[in-house]
Amino acid sequence: MKIFVSILALLCLALWSIPASTVSAADAVTVSISTPANVVAGGKFVATVNVTQVTACNSYQFQINYDPTLIRIDDPAEGGAQGVTTGLIGTTVVPVDMWTFYPRSSPGAIKVVGHVSGNHTMTDAGSLAQIHFTVLNSSGHSNLTTIYSMV
């Protein structure tokens, strides 16, 4: 049975203080979400929100949409510590300040917000966060297809 997970990563990152006119196509930040190709029904998996070409970033925000009848966030408590965990860009740990269902208390979409404290910034490639899911489908192996886009 196939599980189609639609994950929409909206990166509304107040990240770059570089004017758009100074960024070339070669400098473009890319966002992707990596997941395992196959998941076992009743099993767990991690979706990692990856970024490249990050320069002088100090905060981020993104939204992920998913089908709550097929998968669920591991930590059922909204904003819980086990549902969405830190990422790593270069050698900088990327904190998750908060995550919430969007709209609140309605599984199917989450918003994640984070920042690096003080005058620190993130520069390099890496991950913003990891989202921990459990597969709800109860039969056999499932093929997990991930679709993402940056708006």
How many whole angstroms separate alpha carbon 46 and alpha carbon 113? Answer: 18
Interacting residues of 42 by C-beta distance below 8 A, sequence separation 6+:
134, 135, 136, 137, 138
CB 129 within 8 A of CB 96: yes
For the chain, 151 residues long, give each residue's pLDDT as a single digit of tens. 333 343 333 333 333 333 333 334 456 888 889 988 888 888 899 999 999 988 888 889 999 998 888 889 988 678 888 899 999 998 889 999 999 999 988 888 999 999 888 788 888 899 999 999 998 865 444 445 443 333 3
- Domain extents in the chain: 2-18+29-147
Q: Which fold has domain 2-18+29-147?
A: Immunoglobulin-like (2.60.40)
For position 27, what pLDDT does the model report?
A: 66
